[in-house]
Structure 1
Amino acid sequence: MKYTLYILALLLITPIVGHAHVIVDELSHQSSNTIAWEYLKLGYRHILPLGFDHILFILSLLLLSPKLKPLLIQASTFTIAHSITLGLSVFGCIHPIPQLVEPLISITILIVALENIFSSKLRSSRLIVVFLFGLIHGMGFANALMGVGLPQSSYLLGVLMFNIGVEFGQITVILVAYIILVKWVSKKLDYKKYIVTPISIIIALTAIYWTIQRIWA
């Protein structure tokens, strides 16, 4: 576990090349190890600190049940789903439209947050919802990756390491949120009343704002 935390910290503090075209141009002449590291960082930073919408979605998955096992199952389901559409998108099998995908991502956050508010317990049907929503988020990840570009000499490597970087970002969010909200706060307060409902309301309102903003944008 401690080595995972070291890697996550290093990913967050290590500088990364700022411009998309510069990244691709410079990396086309670099070693496979350098390319792998750069796209690992890109994927991580698409979650932390840049992916606030994805952070809220992952946080919403965590809230309803303060148990680690259901969270890990949901997170794994989400990972499988977004990896599918990320791969299909970057290899041209599907062509996600950002103007459609981005509002849909906001709506997925809203739906999960509302479920947290109005449901008394975590239901098995949520895994189906998480999988379907993961497919949508995967298209969002793909749009971000294609916006940066990929070196033709290491196309598959770039896709793979970007996706792994995304996973490291998600692990960071899960670890921090679980330690703060579940292991510490949930034992001191009425979890549903003081944690799940207030935070889910804030997330839902934020998602509504994003949905309207992205539709009109």
Structure 2
Amino acid sequence: MTFCYKPKCAGLWVLLLLLLALPAAAHVIDADLSKLSRTQIFWTYIQLGFTHILPLGFDHILFIISLYILEPKLRPVLFQATAFTVAHSITLGLAMYGLIQPPSSVVEPIIALSILFVAIENIITTKLSPWRLAIVFGFGLIHGMGFASALTGLGLPRKDYFGSLISFNVGVELGQVTIILLCWALIGRWAADRPWYRARVVVPVSIVIGLVAAYWTVDRLLA
């Protein structure tokens, strides 16, 4: 048995990842965690992590799109997504174990500001800056605190606390990879090398994302 890793197979992988998350919407939230096996808990929290990104995490979706469009190649954005994942895993773990307790009234506006920052950077620069990974890592630390707020509401099973936390992170990463593959299939595959790509894709998309993020920032500060 062989697996297809060619670019033309990206659509298939996206479909499979989306199908993975479908049962979550109907069954996961109402499940009695105390009655689930470790395997069921593993899949339950993968699905929860995935659906927290797709379709529920609109702010996180816009952040990943912002990371992608400036340099619409899979390798650069996967490096950024990995830095983001490592960072949010750190703060998510610290928050879920009670070692840090950042107030959502502070975290949520900063998440919106992180999206606005990346959108503005996309508009004023033409290529990835050397410090982009460090910036993404820093923002990942903030987003991890946001994930913690959502996961706290869902709860973690006592019998496999650490395993379910890891599973949730895996689901989040799968959601991010799905967004990246969708962006590549819709934009990067056929438009990335076109001379008009920046003027017709990067700038207008970043302006829209920036306006949405600016609205979120003000709205969350006033909430």
TM over 0.5: yes
Give the residue type in structure 1 aligned to 2:191: V
Report what 2:129 is aligned to.
123
Offset at residue 63 of structure 1 (A): 1.1
Alignment of 1:81-120 (within 5 A): 81-120=87-126
Which residue of structure 1 aligns with residue 18 of structure 2? 9
For 1:180, the equivalent position in structure 2 comes to 186
Letter paired with 2:211:
L
Structure 1's 101 and 13: CA in aligned 2 closer, same or farther, altered over 3 A? same
Query: What is the aligned counterpart of 2:171 among 165, 173, 187?
Result: 165
Structure-2-length-normalised TM-score: 0.90
Go from structure 1 to structure 2 and tell me whether the alpha carbon gap of 1:212 and 1:18 turns closer, same or farther (over 3 Å shift).
farther
Aligned mates of 1:17, 1:98 — CA distance in 2: 27
Counterpart position of 1:38: 44
Quick one: distance in 2 between partners of 1:170 and 1:29?
30
Task: Report if aligned partners of 2:87, 2:137 keep a CA contact under 8 Å in 1.
Answer: yes
Contact 1:79 1:134 in 2 (8 A): yes
Give the AA of the match of 1:146: T
Q: Is the deviation greater in 11-20 or in 36-45?
A: 11-20
Q: Would you say the 8 A contact 2:74–2:180 is kept in 1?
A: no
- For the pair 1:48 / 2:54, whether they are aligned, the reply is yes
Could you report, residue by residue, the CA deviation over 1:149-177 in whole angstroms, capped at 9, with x for unpaired residues? 11111111111111100001001000000
Within 1, Cα distance between the matches of 2:171 and 2:200? 33
Gaps of 5+ in 1: none
How far is 1:95 from its partner? 0.8
User: How far is 1:124 from its partner?
Assistant: 0.9
Looking at structure 2, the residues matched to 97 and 213 of structure 1 have their Cα atoms a distance apart, in angstroms, of: 16
Residue number among 64, 77, 80 corresponding to 2:70 in the alignment: 64
Find the partner of 2:202 among 183, 196, 207: 196
Question: SS of the counterpart of 1:36?
Answer: helix
State the Cα distance separating 1:48 from its structure 2 match. Answer: 0.2
Q: Distance in 2 between matches of 1:188 and 1:124?
A: 24
Length, aligned pairs only: 214
1:96 touches 1:143 (CA, 8 Å); kept in 2?
Answer: no
Percent of aligned positions with the same letter in both sequences? 49
The TM-score normalised by the length of structure 1 is: 0.92
- For 1:19 and 1:161, how far apart are their aligned partners in 2? 14
CA apart distance, 1:188: 4.7
Q: Structure 2 unaligned runs (5+)? A: none
Note the aligned Cα RMSD (angstroms): 1.8
